[in-house]
């Protein structure tokens, strides 16, 4: 993966996105002339895939002083355990205390998305998984969602900016709106083939108007070898995409001489449903997962001060002094 070019927004740098209690803490310390060097450790509430450190490092590079600073972290994409230290920052408190909200938020969101993607990829057992969850989050963070899904093991993601962060080409075929606007799936696919660059795979959505197998044969007959695959996105109101439906479409395609046409499955997928397809040996070539990745929220990051000017300290309920994690490596 290329080094992503994250955008640290001015509102983050000036502290407008921080909890106001942190702003007030800095005001008090500034007026009292206090600015000790502290060691703060960040840790997750649950195990998962660590993600967000590259974005956090970019933020820290903008706010921390050039000397007297140490930052340790585990690697992007590393497996992390519950309450293990994932980042340790040693620096004057006033230089980074205001950004605790941003750091915890970045790590929480990104690690949740990466973890959800990883669970889907593990369930798919070698079948590619694509993240299509952008429409379930605010557009400002959709690219981060896509980036995190790639860290978690997805083969590709759907947005242009998110794919750019990952150094990949965005993946996607057509929404239901295209055949609806044309009034016919074949006309929509014919226009798609006419106007979209040839390096974009031709994948037809085949559940808009007619039987999935019928539309699959029709578009395969129209495009022949130019058709990469068909996508099944049958709504729950019609029973959803099932193993038997995939089997029927695969069989009818094969019988009609279209063995090269792949089958893409989407629509409410999660690890449990993916496992069902895998265990029944369904002929799925790619899974597209959206809401499960976008809405996953099992992991929360928190932070604690464990040293002040080299002296071990902590709040009640935790032990003073730094916690050892052999996965940590110094990054600043």
Please tell me the predicted confidence (pLDDT) of residue 319.
84
**Paired residues of 92 in beta bridges:** 37
Please tell me the predicted confidence (pLDDT) of residue 1.
61
Q: DSSP label at 237?
A: G
Please tell me the predicted confidence (pLDDT) of residue 3.
78
Q: What is the pLDDT of residues 233-265, one digit of tens each?
A: 998 889 899 999 999 999 999 999 999 999 999
Please tell me the predicted confidence (pLDDT) of residue 46.
98
- pTM higher than 0.85, yes or no? yes
Please tell me the predicted confidence (pLDDT) of residue 16.
94
Superfamily of domain 114-295: Aldolase class I (3.20.20.70)
Tell me where in the chain the CATH 3.20.20.70 domain(s) lie: 114-295
Tell me where in the chain the CATH 3.20.140.10 domain(s) lie: 10-111+298-330
Residue 86 contacts by C-beta under 8 Å, 6 or more apart in sequence?
42, 43, 44, 50, 53, 73, 74, 80, 107, 301, 325
Nearest to 119 by CA among 44, 47, 45, 43: 47
Radius of gyration, CA atoms only, the chain: 24
Structurally, at CATH architecture level, domain 10-111+298-330 sits in Alpha-Beta Barrel (3.20)
Q: What's the rounded Cα separation, in Å, for the pair 287 and 270? A: 10
Q: What is the pLDDT of residues 291-318, one digit of tens each?
A: 999 999 999 999 999 999 999 998 888 8
List of the chain residues with pLDDT < 70:
1-2
Please tell me the predicted confidence (pLDDT) of residue 84.
95
Q: What is the pLDDT of residues 189-199, one digit of tens each?
A: 999 999 999 99
SS3 112: helix
Q: What's the rounded Cα separation, in Å, for the pair 86 and 173? A: 38
Please tell me the predicted confidence (pLDDT) of residue 5.
86
């Amino acid at each position: 993966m290329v080094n992503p070019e994250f955008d640290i927004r001015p509102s983050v740098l000036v502290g407008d996105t921080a909890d106001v209690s942190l702003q007030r803490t800095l005001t008090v310390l500034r007026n009292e002339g206090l600015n000790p060097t502290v060691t703060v450790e960040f840790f997750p509430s649950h195990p998962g895939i660590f993600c967000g450190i590259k974005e956090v490092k970019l933020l820290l590079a903008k706010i921390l002083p050039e000397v007297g600073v140490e930052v340790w972290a585990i690697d992007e994409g590393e497996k992390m355990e519950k309450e293990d230290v994932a980042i340790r920052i040693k620096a004057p408190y006033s230089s980074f205390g205001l950004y605790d909200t941003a750091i915890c938020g970045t790590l929480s969101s990104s690690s949740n998305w990466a973890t959800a993607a990883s669970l889907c990829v593990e369930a798919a057992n070698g079948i590619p998984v694509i993240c299509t969850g952008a429409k379930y989050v605010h557009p400002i963070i959709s690219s981060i969602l896509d980036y995190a899904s790639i860290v978690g093991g997805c083969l590709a993601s759907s947005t242009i900016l998110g794919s750019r962060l990952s150094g990949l080409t965005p993946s996607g075929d057509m929404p239901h709106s295209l055949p609806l606007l044309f009034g016919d799936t074949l006309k929509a696919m014919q226009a798609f083939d006419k106007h979209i660059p040839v390096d974009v795979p031709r994948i037809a959505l085949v559940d808009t108007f007619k039987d999935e197998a019928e539309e699959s044969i029709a578009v395969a007959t129209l495009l022949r070898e130019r058709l990469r695959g068909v996508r099944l996105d049958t709504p729950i109101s019609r029973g959803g995409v099932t193993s038997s439906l995939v089997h029927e479409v695969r069989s009818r395609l094969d019988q009609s001489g279209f063995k090269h046409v792949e089958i893409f499955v989407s629509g409410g997928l999660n690890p449990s449903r993916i496992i069902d397809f895998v265990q029944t040996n369904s002929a799925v070539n790619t899974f597209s997962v959206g809401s499960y990745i976008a809405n996953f929220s099992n992991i929360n990051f928190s932070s604690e001060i464990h040293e002040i000017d080299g002296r071990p300290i902590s709040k009640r309920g935790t032990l003073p002094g730094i916690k050892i994690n052999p996965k940590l490596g110094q990054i600043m």
